[in-house]
Amino acid sequence: MSLGRKLFISYLVVILVGALVMGVSTLSISPVTFARHVESMRDMMTSMMMNTGMEQLELELNNNFRQAINSTLIIATAAATVAASIVSAYVTRRIATPIQQTVLASERIADGHYEERLPVYSDDELGDLTRSFNRMAAALAETEAVRQQLIADISHELKTPLAGIQAYMEGLLDRVMEPTPETFEQVQREAGRLQRLVHDLQELSRAESDQIKLSIVPCEATELVKATSQWIHPQFEDSGIELRLDLPDKSITVLADHDHIRQVLLNLLGNALQYTPTGGQVTVGWGQRGGAVRFFVRDTGIGLVAEDLEHIFLRFYRVDKSRARASGGSGIGLTISQAIIRAPNGRLWAESAGLGQGSTFLFTLPLAV
Ligand code: ADP
């Protein structure tokens, strides 16, 4: 039942209780008060009837009747007021308590107690308010947890290359290590990892605060795929992995930010290259699906289990942490790619039949009309 209807019925109940108490009290008190007044008039009536006549008697009767009614009404009104007040207090408490609880809980949340939740008592607007409050509290708690996790992740990611650089430098200073080109290359590699990480973090922060500036223009789907694969082809050759193109004959134009889509394709192709053993194959292409074009990067690599398919788009998530860190992966690439694809309402997802079965990454872009 809605809160408005409840309030209306509550008022009605209060009025009815008041009227009922008033009626019952009047009915039960009036005979008593009236009898008392009649009793007090008995002697007077006899003498009056004999001495003063009918007129005086009527006047006295009227007076006493009015007094009887007045005292009955005073007692009945007092009883009705007390009864209506008790019912009003009960009704008000039922409505005010959840609101007071919500106020107190919001103050506690403002003080940083994000675990605060409210019990849901009813199915009306107050129940809705409590439910939305609990949802908001849960969202805030999650944001806070993500923020804390992010700080922990970033410090952890920065620590590893920094510790590497420090160890090499100490080794060189203590002359435990030779200042050979290999040593300097190692230091440079660690510094490169730091630089990549900082660059990725900047991209991530832009992506997550919806600040990616996309300049969406009509782009030729085949040209997008060809340009990106040409760029990365030498790396595939070096690793002994075949890069195939699967492109329809027809030409189709999609609405996209050319540079950002290239960045997404490069991320997907780079991952496919990284997670596919030598001798494997990676296929990149597109196909039309209704009003959208679906791009895909399919590999014959290590594959993904169902649980990881959902998590790999979370920032800093890596399936095999030690392996990815050794190869420089920070687990941010797919998060950024997803933000880029989602910005113009696209979708990026992964499919895999399981470990060792390869994986396919797909994303959609709208057709240019
Ligand atoms: P990273 O820089 O670590 O590659 P990404 O965000 O690009 O970060 O990928 C997140 C994780 O998803 C990777 O660490 C890896 O575990 C998994 N992953 C991504 N692409 C593939 C793929 N083609 N095959 C298997 N696992 C993959």
User: What is the pLDDT, as a whole number, of residue 325?
Assistant: 47
Residue minimizing CA distance to atom 23 of ligand 1: 272
Q: Calculate how far, in angstroms, residue 341's C-alpha sits from the geometric centre of ligand 1.
A: 17
Residue minimizing CA distance to atom 9 of ligand 1: 331
C-alpha 278/C-alpha 258 separation (Å) is 30
Atom of ligand 1 at shortest range from CA of 332: 6
C-alpha 301/C-alpha 243 separation (Å) is 13
User: What is the pLDDT, as a whole number, of residue 169?
Assistant: 93
Tell me, using a 6 A CB cutoff, whether residue 339 lines ligand 1: no
Given a cut of 90, whether residue 26 has pLDDT beyond it is: no
Given a cut of 90, whether residue 124 has pLDDT beyond it is: no
User: What is the pLDDT, as a whole number, of residue 322?
Assistant: 55
Given a cut of 50, whether residue 18 has pLDDT beyond it is: yes
pTM above 0.75, yes or no: no
The mean predicted confidence, pLDDT, of the chain is 87
Given a cut of 80, whether residue 85 has pLDDT beyond it is: yes
Strand partners, 292: 289, 366
- More confident site: 53 or 9: 9
Residue minimizing CA distance to atom 14 of ligand 1: 318
Residue minimizing CA distance to atom 10 of ligand 1: 331
Tell me, using a 6 A CB cutoff, whether residue 197 lines ligand 1: no
User: What is the pLDDT, as a whole number, of residue 17?
Assistant: 84
- On whether the CB atoms of residues 282 and 297 are closer than 8 A, the answer is yes
Q: Calculate how far, in angstroms, residue 290's C-alpha sits from the geometric centre of ligand 1.
A: 29
Q: What is the CATH number of domain 217-366?
A: 3.30.565.10
User: What is the pLDDT, as a whole number, of residue 79?
Assistant: 87
- More confident site: 326 or 321: 321
Given a cut of 50, whether residue 362 has pLDDT beyond it is: yes
Given a cut of 80, whether residue 251 has pLDDT beyond it is: yes
User: What is the pLDDT, as a whole number, of residue 138?
Assistant: 93
Q: 329 falls in which pLDDT band (50, 70, 90)?
A: low
Tell me, using a 6 A CB cutoff, whether residue 352 lines ligand 1: no
- More confident site: 143 or 235: 235
Tell me, using a 6 A CB cutoff, whether residue 331 lines ligand 1: yes
Give all strands (DSSP E) within 39-135, no chain letters. none
Residue-wise pLDDT tens digits, 286-296: 999 888 999 99
Cβ-Cβ contacts under 8 Å for 187 (sequence gap 6 or more): 164, 165, 168, 169
Tell me, using a 6 A CB cutoff, whether residue 334 lines ligand 1: yes
Return the H-helix or E-strand segment holding 156: helix 125-173
Q: Calculate how far, in angstroms, residue 362's C-alpha sits from the geometric centre of ligand 1.
A: 14
Q: 88 falls in which pLDDT band (50, 70, 90)?
A: confident
Given a cut of 70, whether residue 48 has pLDDT beyond it is: no
- Name the nearest CA neighbour of 108 among 133, 84, 125: 133
Cβ-Cβ contacts under 8 Å for 87 (sequence gap 6 or more): 13, 14, 17
User: What is the pLDDT, as a whole number, of residue 87?
Assistant: 87
Given a cut of 90, whether residue 269 has pLDDT beyond it is: yes
For domain 126-208, the CATH class is mainly alpha
Tell me, using a 6 A CB cutoff, whether residue 336 lines ligand 1: no
Tell me, using a 6 A CB cutoff, whether residue 350 lines ligand 1: no
C-alpha 285/C-alpha 245 separation (Å) is 6
Percent of the chain predicted with pLDDT > 90: 42
Neighbours of 290 (CB within 10 A): 8
The two tokens of residue 287 are 């196909």
Q: Calculate how far, in angstroms, residue 54's C-alpha sits from the geometric centre of ligand 1.
A: 112
Percent of the chain predicted with pLDDT > 70: 94
Residue-wise pLDDT tens digits, 50-64: 776 777 777 877 887
Q: Calculate how far, in angstroms, residue 149's C-alpha sits from the geometric centre of ligand 1.
A: 19
Q: Average pLDDT, stretch 306-315?
A: 88
C-alpha 205/C-alpha 118 separation (Å) is 33
Given a cut of 80, whether residue 166 has pLDDT beyond it is: yes
Cβ-in-10-Å burial (0-12, 13-18, 19+) of 243 comes to: buried
- More confident site: 344 or 197: 197
User: What is the pLDDT, as a whole number, of residue 77?
Assistant: 87
Atom of ligand 1 at shortest range from CA of 334: 6
Given a cut of 70, whether residue 326 has pLDDT beyond it is: no
User: What is the pLDDT, as a whole number, of residue 321?
Assistant: 59
Q: Average pLDDT, stretch 305-328?
A: 74
